[in-house]
Structure 1
Amino acid sequence: MQKKSHPEATEIRDAVERIVGSADFTGTERAAGFLRYIVEETLEGRADRIKAFTVAVDVFGRDETFDARNDPAVRIEAARLRRALERYYLTSGSNDPVVIGIPKGGYVPTFSFGHDNAPADPPVANGNFAGFSSRYVIGGMAAAVLLLIATALVYVFAPSRTTSDDVFGPKILVLPFADLGDSDTSVLYAAAITDELIGALAHFKEISVFGGQTSRAADGLDMDKLRSKLGVDYVLEGSARTAGSSVRVGARLIDAETQAVLWSANYDTGLTAGNLFEIPASTADAVAAAVAQPRGVVLNAEAINRLERPPDNLDAYLCSLSYYLYRSNPSPQAHLDVRECLERTVDRFPNYATAWALLAHLRIDELRFGYNQRPNAVERAYDAAQRAVAIDTGNGRAFQALATIALFSRKPAEAREYAERALELNPNDSDLLGQTGQVFGLSGEKARGRKLIEKALALDPDRSGFYLGVLAIICYMQEDYACARSAIAKSDARQAPVYHGVAAVIYAQTGEEKKAREAADELMQQSPRFIPNLWAELSNRSIPRADQRHIADGFRKIGIEVPPEPESHPAQTQPAG
């Protein structure tokens, strides 16, 4: 009997329902609706109608003003759906009879056979491992181990840095982790952690990391050769050992020039059937966060090394480092210096995506903090962020900036979409977690925002000022006054006028009238326009009206006259700080 060359419509519809009903399909309800829509349109012969605009209107409920050129909502959701499908076909869907893929560059799905009724050479859908997985019958631990390797291979062949940024920042080489155990599992974990770590580090745009093939080729070379042949600045090496029901991973970072050990840590995890696949990824995330985030080991070492050299006012990478120093201790003068430095940098290096993204943050800070204001802050910030995205669509800093820009443009839904995209690109960056936590927390999703801020604090406890200030206002809006008081008391963000406003309403609700009045007096001294424009100030931060009333109530408790509540959201004004 001749084999079918294409799945039938009923088989494809069954495949869709099997996918969206699976616990291994990590897509949201929106992603499930997206998948059903594009499949049904294709089966009904309307594939030519599947465009970003029609998806936005028919699936996401957007209106006729949706502009796909300036709003990436559909592209973001399509990327999530592709990843959810890839995970599904690597797990419970590995033997599905029908494989559904969504090729990049469009939204029209493809349909092919998987294991059952497959042609001699079944195609692989959308670059995932469905074809690989379905052609082998594997049992027990062996299946799990091969799946682990398949997942790791994604990082071996993925580009580890973009062409726009690869001349900037320190270069890190991850050497293959050593196997110190006495079982096959230990060998596999060492290999998987190496590749997961390369992938995790590649999310941080302030560094460059060599790919998996280079890592393996460099194994055994001494440090001098790594520096001379590859230009390596730092080497990350480690080991994995399994013993009984536990896994120990050790890692250390070495300065390739001095050969000094800058950092080391051990990670011990209990080994269970449930966390078999999670250990390499979670351990790699922890190591990458410690090493590569803005206040991590590498950038701290770079700041010391570079600041000891004679400064060059066009040193592009020094500008990036200066941005994080400013972010830790913001002030009008630091803002002006770093903004000017970054503007010179992008003028000289127009394809430096990260510099454009950081410049977008500096420009929106003109609105957020009232620093060094120039006309059209939102438009100029948005232009810089969009330039960063155009150069590097995987730049988390750019989407982080777009989220903050949308928040301060009174577009909370759009802000959250950008924030989700930023988190997908790098969920272990404390600076990104802190700012996206602010986006969610202020715009109404308080529990989500609080969780992100708490994770940022866990990754970077030294940067307590900003994180704790945001945590304080989120807890206040949740009416968790004990949390709010604890956070504001620990925060050292007193250089920001809004800090004193947050402190005033918190102390008002906890009955500490003297502290509340002192904080309110400081707010009015630093920013005399804030309370007279209270409703606009809060609306400019996308804070829902019910939470605005709660904040106004805090000021009233200590006798401060608040302007009458407008019937609708007041017109946007330049925030006072």
Structure 2
Amino acid sequence: MEDSLVPTALTSKIDPSVIAEQLKRVLASPQFSETTRMKRFLSHLVTETLAGRGDELKGYALGLDVFDKPEDFDPGIDTIVRVQANKLRSRLDLYYGKEGRGDPVRIHVPKGSYAPVFEIAFDPELSSEPVSSEPEPGGRKSLAVMPFDNLSGDPDQEYLADGFTEEVIAALARFREVSVLSRHVTFRFRDRSRDPREIGEELGVHYLVEGSVRHWAGNLRVTAQLVDALSGEQIVSDAYDRDLNVDSLFDVQEDIAARIATEIAEPHGIIHRTGALHRRAGTQTFDAYQCRLLATEYWRQPTVEQHARVRDLLERAVQLDPDYAGAWGMLAIVYGDEVRGGYNFQKEPPPLDRALKAAERSVSLDPMNATGQHALFLTHYHRGSFDTYRIAAQKALRANPNYPDMLADMAICEALLGDRDKGFQLIGRATELSPHPPGWYHAVTCILHFQAGAYEAALASARQIGDAMWNGPELLVLMCLGQLDREEDATELIQRLHANVPDPSRLLETLLAIWHAPDELSERIRNGLNKVGAF
């Protein structure tokens, strides 16, 4: 779980009075101003941590001090503290995704702990970068999540529909390439039957997310639809069924909301795929957005030609809009692919130097942009700066724990650094969240199984990669066949490998070096390839 990546509070580095002022800003926001209990909860957590009592913030004590529970309160039976803490995290995410985007201090409550973490987002007196009051480039797509309908036939179940609406808003807000209206704007449309085109015009949004919740006899069905607010056309619709006798309501809410948001808004999601198909002329900022849109499909089936085209597009995007954090983050990853894939390598400046500069630019423009954080931790990893990698990975998970490509890349990094269980967890989550996972996810799973000595499972994963890996997917299949003593199955693959890769041995050594593969794993890979005569 990401809890293990969360650092301790940085109270000693920030003046407590600055944190107190930040708390006032948060409590006065629409996310907290209308909920007395949530304001009390956050105030208590911050105050106790500033007083040096963060270690005493436990479920039992919070039940008594904040939620007025009796002394026989058992947090293992009554989950109010855990449930409210998760809601608190969602509200903080929404705050920092909207009105608090430019605040100098961020308050986080990491999962697995009730003690908040305080971080400096920027220092307005020291920062050389202007902090724009505009939250996003002009071309960023806007959404409104309409109140989900309660189809349970019981008015007392209204809270379920409201809960799913809030969770979907919070999950969508993590994807910085879309702009999401707050629930205070959309809840006034509850119980009103209106043409989506009228609502879209009134709210000034490109898309509407509509949904319904039905709860009966321990069963739950949630439906969600994405609607084009200009045409009224339904773009996609999905249904999610869960058994509440098996899973807790909050876990179900969080999981389904993450799936809905990821399918709609992640960088390869429905909105961006649809937008890339409908390129139109517009302002310079809009052109920059379109450049970024046209780059999204590169990661699904990369080629040397596509890499060159995407690099040019993204370099144009940041020229047109130098403050476009998402484009800088994607450009950083593309620069890194010059090393990872050997694509269109430009020696000067070195690719990883260019990647680091672009990633740092992205994060300085928007500290919560997951694309930039993804590029930053991946670049630090390839440069061998593992301590810095871990710090960047922590921030990336906080920015968006539902970004599949980021989770997949983090999975291989964590596994190669020694935490294979963490790697399996991350790639499993990435695959669950991605409606159509690209073939390179299977390359990650292959490496993890191979690392564990599960060669049959590794082989099965390797054979699902297809054309979605930068170079040499045949290497993964061949190294598994070698360890399984199945040399007779390798002949055709070896021929294909040498036809596609001029120097397979050099490619292998480059990949082992750039991914910092442990010596023991590297030797097993070489041994498997030697057994089948790959070189």
- Cα pair distance change 1:150/1:554, threshold 3 Å: closer
- Cα pair distance change 1:441/1:356, threshold 3 Å: same
How far, CA to CA, are the matches of 1:113 and 1:441 in structure 2?
35
Query: Is residue 139 of structure 2 the alignment partner of residue 168 of structure 1?
Result: yes
Alpha-carbon offset, residue 144 of structure 1: 7.8
> Secondary structure of the equivalent of 1:196?
helix
How far, CA to CA, are the matches of 2:316 and 2:362 in structure 1?
16
Partner residue, 2:365:
391
Alpha-carbon offset, residue 377 of structure 1: 0.6
> Secondary structure of the equivalent of 2:505?
coil
Partner residue, 1:216:
187
CA contact (8 A) 1:524 1:531 kept: no
CA contact (8 A) 2:301 2:468 kept: no
How far, CA to CA, are the matches of 1:271 and 1:327 in structure 2?
37
* Greater RCO, 1 or 2 (C-alpha within 8 Å, sep 6+): 2
Equivalent position amino acid for 1:284 in 2:
A
Partner residue, 1:11:
none
Alpha-carbon offset, residue 110 of structure 1: 0.9
Which stretch of structure 1 is more off in the superposition, 522-531 or 338-347?
Answer: 522-531
Partner residue, 2:377:
403
Query: Is residue 250 of structure 2 the alignment partner of residue 281 of structure 1?
Result: no
Corresponding residue to 2:51 among 111, 115, 121 = 111
Equivalent position amino acid for 2:222 in 1:
V
User: What does 1:9-48 align with in structure 2 at a 5 Å threshold?
Assistant: 27-28=3-4, 31=7, 34=8
Alpha-carbon offset, residue 51 of structure 1: 4.1
Equivalent position amino acid for 2:407 in 1:
L
How far, CA to CA, are the matches of 2:45 and 2:438 in structure 1?
46
Alpha-carbon offset, residue 210 of structure 1: 1.2
How far, CA to CA, are the matches of 2:500 and 2:158 in structure 1?
60
CA contact (8 A) 2:355 2:379 kept: yes
Query: Is residue 316 of structure 2 the alignment partner of residue 344 of structure 1?
Result: yes
Alpha-carbon offset, residue 403 of structure 1: 2.1
- Cα pair distance change 1:409/1:527, threshold 3 Å: farther
Equivalent position amino acid for 2:224 in 1:
A
Which stretch of structure 1 is more off in the superposition, 175-184 or 134-143?
Answer: 134-143
Equivalent position amino acid for 1:316 in 2:
A
CA contact (8 A) 1:224 1:256 kept: yes
> Secondary structure of the equivalent of 2:446?
helix
How far, CA to CA, are the matches of 1:135 and 1:498 in structure 2?
58
Query: Is residue 201 of structure 2 the alignment partner of residue 201 of structure 1?
Result: no
> Secondary structure of the equivalent of 1:490?
coil
Partner residue, 1:542:
516
Structure 1, gaps ≥5 residues long: 1-24, 39-46, 53-89, 104-108, 115-124, 562-577
Corresponding residue to 1:379 among 347, 353, 372 = 353
Alpha-carbon offset, residue 396 of structure 1: 1.0
CA contact (8 A) 1:193 1:284 kept: yes
Partner residue, 1:255:
228
Partner residue, 1:297:
270
Corresponding residue to 2:473 among 489, 499, 506 = 499
How far, CA to CA, are the matches of 2:53 and 2:456 in structure 1?
57
Q: Deviations over 1:382-423 (max 9, x none)?
A: 000001111111111112112221232233454344334323
Partner residue, 2:396:
422
> Secondary structure of the equivalent of 2:227?
strand
CA contact (8 A) 1:227 1:256 kept: yes
| Percent of matched pairs sharing the same residue | 26
Partner residue, 2:129:
none
Q: Deviations over 1:202-253 (max 9, x none)?
A: 1112222111222224554543333333321111111223334233322211
How far, CA to CA, are the matches of 2:245 and 2:40 in structure 1?
24
Alpha-carbon offset, residue 353 of structure 1: 0.5
Query: Is residue 526 of structure 2 the alignment partner of residue 552 of structure 1?
Result: yes
How far, CA to CA, are the matches of 1:533 and 1:358 in structure 2?
24
How far, CA to CA, are the matches of 1:495 and 1:347 in structure 2?
29
Which stretch of structure 1 is more off in the superposition, 162-171 or 402-411?
Answer: 162-171
Partner residue, 2:334:
362
Alpha-carbon offset, residue 472 of structure 1: 1.8
Partner residue, 2:306:
334
> Secondary structure of the equivalent of 2:308?
helix
Q: Deviations over 1:304-345 (max 9, x none)?
A: 333xx4699972222222222111111111111111111111
- Cα pair distance change 1:184/1:279, threshold 3 Å: farther
Q: Deviations over 1:106-132 (max 9, x none)?
A: xxx512999xxxxxxxxxx9xxxx799
Corresponding residue to 2:151 among 162, 180, 204 = 180
CA contact (8 A) 1:357 1:398 kept: yes
- Cα pair distance change 1:386/1:214, threshold 3 Å: same
- Cα pair distance change 1:319/1:132, threshold 3 Å: farther
CA contact (8 A) 2:149 2:213 kept: yes
Query: Is residue 234 of structure 2 the alignment partner of residue 270 of structure 1?
Result: no
**TM-score normalised according to structure 1 size:** 0.70
Corresponding residue to 1:101 among 25, 40, 46 = 46
Q: Deviations over 1:411-470 (max 9, x none)?
A: 345434433432332222222222222322344333322332233333336344211122
CA RMSD of aligned residues (A): 3.9
Which stretch of structure 1 is more off in the superposition, 501-510 or 221-230?
Answer: 221-230
Structure 2, gaps ≥5 residues long: 15-34, 102-133
> Secondary structure of the equivalent of 2:439?
helix
CA contact (8 A) 1:412 1:542 kept: no
User: What does 1:426-575 align with in structure 2 at a 5 Å threshold?
Assistant: 426-460=400-434, 462-493=436-467, 496-532=470-506, 534-535=508-509, 537-559=511-533
Alpha-carbon offset, residue 183 of structure 1: 4.2
Equivalent position amino acid for 2:304 in 1:
P
